[in-house]
Structure 1
Amino acid sequence: MAAGLKNLLPLLILLVVIGVLAAVGLVAYTIMQEVSNQTRAKMEKKHIMFNKDGLKVEVKEVTDEAYKDRSQSVLVNMWNHTSFPAYKSRIWGNGSGASKRKW
């Protein structure tokens, strides 16, 4: 009887080790799936979707008028925040350049 238990002991140890490894693998897999689902949900809120074909990005529709308004606003802000040190216009501002210039 002792010889039978002696032969089964390595088998039982192997089964326990395989069971522990399977449990660790299952936990790691479920954590990976949960993180993947949460990441996918967050990316879909930002209009980025993953599928079998690859990545799909939805672009918000911007009207032509809104696009031009934003562009003009940026240009006006840049113009208002720039300075031209020691710049003298030949066309306006000092009076001498415009009258001397011949078109």
Structure 2
Amino acid sequence: MAAQATFKSIKAVVPLLDRVLVRRFKPETKTASGVYLPSSATNSPLPEATVIATGPGAPDKTGTVRPTIVQAGDRVLLPGWGGNPIKVGDEEYFLFRDSEILAKIQE
């Protein structure tokens, strides 16, 4: 696993190029009926996340900057792998490339 960066404020992190900063949804630790789930049952990260910030986009082969497809506030579907972790206090965020995001979730 890659080294994990730690910051005091999430506002200190400004994604570059086609990078997207996301916060994964936390798995439920309690069922609807009130039963607490063991940590082994909630260990795997959920594939859904909220976009916190995006970079301006990356240049294509002709030099034209192609903006990121997602925007701050969007709900997205992530792959089960990848992303660079960033720690801010007790919260964990991830940086993904725009092209690694699998889908935008419409509500």
* TM-score bin, normalised by smaller chain: under 0.3
Structure whose alpha-carbon radius of gyration is higher: 1
User: Structure 2 length normalisation: TM-score?
Assistant: 0.17
User: Structure 1 length normalisation: TM-score?
Assistant: 0.17
Structure with bigger strand share is 2
